[in-house]
Each structure stands twice: as structure tokens, then as C-alpha cells.
Homo-oligomer: A and B are copies of this chain.
């Protein structure tokens, strides 16, 4: 018979319809313990008919598993500024957790106050934590407070698996492309110094330039378009013979592009410009860049937490691919 609408089926409804005890129904549904194939058949059929899905609140209570995954954004200050990147991570995680009926939280992890991980570790509703923009010094505390319940989108550690894009290899591909197309006086605009994961592209750039017998030219940026504008101006002043600028992210590269355009510098004629991330706007702006699969990364991070397997084998590195457009 049809179930009464307005009320979800419980395991007792399923057990009654199947003609077994709720213990047996539970065993079939969770797939644990020994059960006869007859029981499996009849319970499965009843559960299907009633559209039964276990109530996660009840399950969480008994198994001490969580009801939510928290995206923890490490930030130097107490206030949380939600940028496009962080939003994308949260949304992708929320989409991934939906079918399990697990929700996603977003929390600033302030380095200023008391250890933010202690509280998360004690919270039984927290199935796991996705660390974003972490620093090496944070990692130790995180791994200790949330053993087996934490992954990092960024640098990892022995206790915290890392799930991230291989931005070192991405930068390598970019610089190699510039060298192959004849560029020699290549500058790089970096990101915030405190973020360890962005050192990889810088290192890759330095290595490649050194190998080619060329000098490195580094200007500081902070991920914003404004910093790209400033950095481009500074670079041109310092190295008037510049023939390429690589920015560590597309936002900054768009700033570089705007500054060059306003100065009448031809792109890519005089100076080639390359970004990183392949944000939606990059295609429109004709910006050559390398991909950064943020959605897939966040999806994988969330699923890892859902499955509860966060040992070292959980490390995942996503490749970055060059996307050739007009700017280089």
C-alpha cells in the first residue's frame, strides 16, 4: 500500500511490511551482520516500496557519526571573507554530500584566537573538516584534534591528506609554453606570502628559468586584479624589456591585462600574459591559462570525509592543463 504522505517511513514500517524484526531490517539495510537471503529480499523490497531512507539524526546519535561536513577556511583575521574560490568549494561539497543527507558548514578558522580545531574535534555533529588555505603550522593542530576526520585542499601532512591541483606542474607547463614560443624575459606575479601551496609554482618557474640560463623576475601580488595592475606597472618599470608575465591566478592576470592595455602595450605582440585557474571570465577575456578543477577537488575532499578514509592513501593530485587563448 501507499505510505501515508507527510510522514517518512521508519525502520519499523519497513520491518512490519517485510514481516521481520527491526533488528533484521537494520542488518539488511546497513549491510552488516549475517542475514538470510530471504530476509534481504523481503526487506529490500519493503524499503523500496516505502521509499525508506534511514533518518541520519537517529543514525548519527547511535553510531556517533556526524551530520555535517565543515569547510574550514584558515584566515589571518577573525572575519571570514567569502571569495569566489571558497564559495565554489562549499557549493561543490554541498552538492556531493546531498545524497547522503549530510549538510555542509562554513567556518572561519582564525589564527588569532584559541585553537579552533579543539572545538570542532569535540563536536559530534562534525563528520569531518575540509581545510582551505591552510598553513603548515596549522596542520599539526588540525591532525591532532581531528584524527581521521580531516583533509586539506592545499598542503597536507602525515596526518592530513592533501587533495589539490598540481599547480607546480601547471606552472611548469605555462613557462615551458612561453619559452617554446620564444619568450625569454618572463616575469611572475605571485600571491600572498603566507600561503604555502603557492610556493610550488614559484619554485617551478625559478627552476625552469635557471635551467634555461635566464634570470628570474618576481613581483608580489595578492590574488586581486588590482594587485595585477600594480604588479604589471612595477614590472614594466623595473624591466622595460619584458616579453611575458605569468600571474599566479586569473584574477591577477586580468589586472595585468588591463594595465598593459591602458599603457598601449600590445598583448601578446609585445608582452604575452598567462594566468592560472581558468575562471569563467578568462575565456571571455581571451586569457591563456591553466585549468584548476576546483569543483572536482572539493567533491573528492567531501567524499573522502564521507567515507571516513583519510589515511595517507587518500592523497589526490589533480592535473592542470594549458588552455591556449589569445593572450599567449
Binding site for B on A (CB under 8 A): 5-8, 51, 53, 55-58, 60-61, 67-71, 80, 82-84, 86-88, 90-92, 94-95, 97-98, 101-107, 118-119, 121-125, 225-226, 254-255, 258, 280-281, 284, 295
Count this chain's copies in the assembly: 2
CB pair B258–A124 under 8 Å, yes or no, is: no
Closest residue of chain B to A98 (Cβ to Cβ) is B105
On chain B, the residues within 8 Å of A107 by CB distance are: 95, 98
* Complex alpha-carbon distance, A312 and B281, angstroms: 39
The residue that A91 contacts in the complex, of B55, B68, B82, B95, with Cβ under 8 A, is B82
On chain B, the residues within 8 Å of A103 by CB distance are: 67-69, 97, 102-105
On chain B, the residues within 8 Å of A84 by CB distance are: 84, 87, 280
CB pair A121–B68 under 8 Å, yes or no, is: no
On chain B, the residues within 8 Å of A119 by CB distance are: 51
- Residue of A67, A121, A225, A281 with most partner-chain B CB within 10 A: A67
* Complex alpha-carbon distance, A104 and B58, angstroms: 18
The residue that A8 contacts in the complex, of B5, B122, B284, with Cβ under 8 A, is B122
On chain B, the residues within 8 Å of A94 by CB distance are: 71, 90, 94, 104-106
The residue that A295 contacts in the complex, of B53, B82, B123, with Cβ under 8 A, is B82
On chain B, the residues within 8 Å of A97 by CB distance are: 103, 105
Given contacts A68-B67, A103-B69, A105-B103, contact A124 B57 (CB under 8 A): yes
CB pair A106–B98 under 8 Å, yes or no, is: yes
* Complex alpha-carbon distance, A292 and B243, angstroms: 40
On chain B, the residues within 8 Å of A280 by CB distance are: 83-84
A54 to chain B, nearest CB (A): 10
A44 to chain B, nearest CB (A): 19
* Complex alpha-carbon distance, A82 and B124, angstroms: 30
* Complex alpha-carbon distance, A56 and B87, angstroms: 25
* Complex alpha-carbon distance, A106 and B92, angstroms: 8
